[in-house]
Structure 1
Amino acid sequence: MPLLVPPAPKPALRSALAALGSPTAVRDPRTPALRSVSGPLSPDLPLPVHVLDRVTTAGGAPSTRLVGWRFLIRSGDRAVAAAETILTPDGWTFSHFFEGPYIPSTELALRQAESLEVPYQPRLLSVPELYMLTLWLHGDATADPATGGPAPSDLLVPLAPAPPGIAAHRPHRVADLLPVLTLRAAPTPLMGMGSPA
């Protein structure tokens, strides 16, 4: 069943298109792939980017917030970079282009998700405490992509590179992966140190 990719806000798409048309933005030193591509570039597969505020919540639902929209930048049939847009007090604006291992990893995870039998809304979920990015497959495929948190039955697919001990590209239910992430993010007690009571 196909993924139900939500439409990005029109101002976010316009800002990504404007940046692609700007020689200054495309020639940024962080994106050699964009400088070396000949032919047209186009933004594709808009994904809302959410951040998990705290992994170590004391029970209850995980807290997330929308921080931007990410567009894969295509040259022909392959993604060569991504464009990130952010919400400012003046509205949606282009933030930056980037490239690296998360680009092909996102494409692979999306292809894998297309083969699932249940419709999902794809989102990206960043877990800053663990330097981790996941493809978040939200079970309510028609939900507002800017709101809501991961439901226990939603799927998280860690993108490569994933933290040690967490397999990339293996889907996990939120209810199963969140406790693992909580343990990983918990501070390690110092050996031989007593309680600070």
Structure 2
Amino acid sequence: MIEEKGILFVLSGPSGVGKGTVRKALFSQKTDLKYSISMTTREKRPGEQEGVDYFFKSKEDFETLIEQKQLLEYAKYVNNYYGTPRNYVEKTLAAGHDVFLEIEVQGALQVRENFPEGVFIFLFPPSLEELKNRILHRGTETEELVLNRLKEARKEIEMMDAYDYVVVNDDVGFAVSKIQAIIQSEHLRRERIAKQYKRILEDEL
């Protein structure tokens, strides 16, 4: 019996590309993936549960974890910290579960630096025009903000070289199928299972 350690899969891409939509569609299907639970210093909202929605920490505890390098990535928004706890990810992987993290590009680059053994998937828009339309359809942003987001998207697309795979999100169903294929193929990589097979052969000799 091969006891395989889980793999960290990181889905990232520019704002408006549909990361959340693709992730929800992936998890709506039967999957053994565990979603990476973020940590935050913001107040718990009604109905939110510790260890389900977030891991809630004080600012002091969060900053201690930063100093101890116990976060795979973190950022600060409106005076609150948000980040990905290393301990939760490593424990889940050690238990044999794959972990799935959906995150912005800057955060993904931090994870790549702190956890290079992860598998990094860049979700790409069919075109910049389509990306602009998706941002506009949100109806929550001014024309100026849309243009700023598109400029930022161009910069983020140029960071694609830091990723292992690129999936074009022209259709959510197709994008999910491609991500599922990536997950399956990563588990079949020779270097991931060679040691375990060799151990089985040694036991039989």
TMscore range, shorter length = under 0.3
More strand by share: 1
More helix by share: 2
Structure number with greater CO (CA < 8 Å, separation at least 6) is 2
Q: Normalising by structure 2, report the TM-score.
A: 0.25
